[in-house]
Amino acid sequence: MLQLAITCLVIALIAAVLGFGGIAGSFMGVAKILFVVFLVLAVVSFLFGRRRIA
């Protein structure tokens, strides 16, 4: 998930440098959403993955 967010961010930066503002904005939005999803899943995994059945 994080790798996909970073890929979208890189594509957005390249598109912005080349002057494709609409595409850059779209990819930046996708990268933000994927990063937030990654953070939520990481926190949930950290919290619920530490349970032990005794």
How far apart, in whole angstroms, are the C-alpha atoms of residue 1 and residue 4?
A: 5
DSSP codes of every residue in 1-54: -HHHHHHHHHHHHHHHHHT-HHHHHHHHHHHHHHHHHHHHHHHHHHHHTT----
**Across 32-45, average pLDDT:** 92
Q: Per-residue pLDDT tens for 4-27?
A: 888 988 999 999 999 998 889 888
Q: Is the pTM of this model over 0.85?
A: no
How far apart, in whole angstroms, are the C-alpha atoms of residue 32 and residue 38?
A: 10
Indicate the length of the chain as a whole number.
Answer: 54
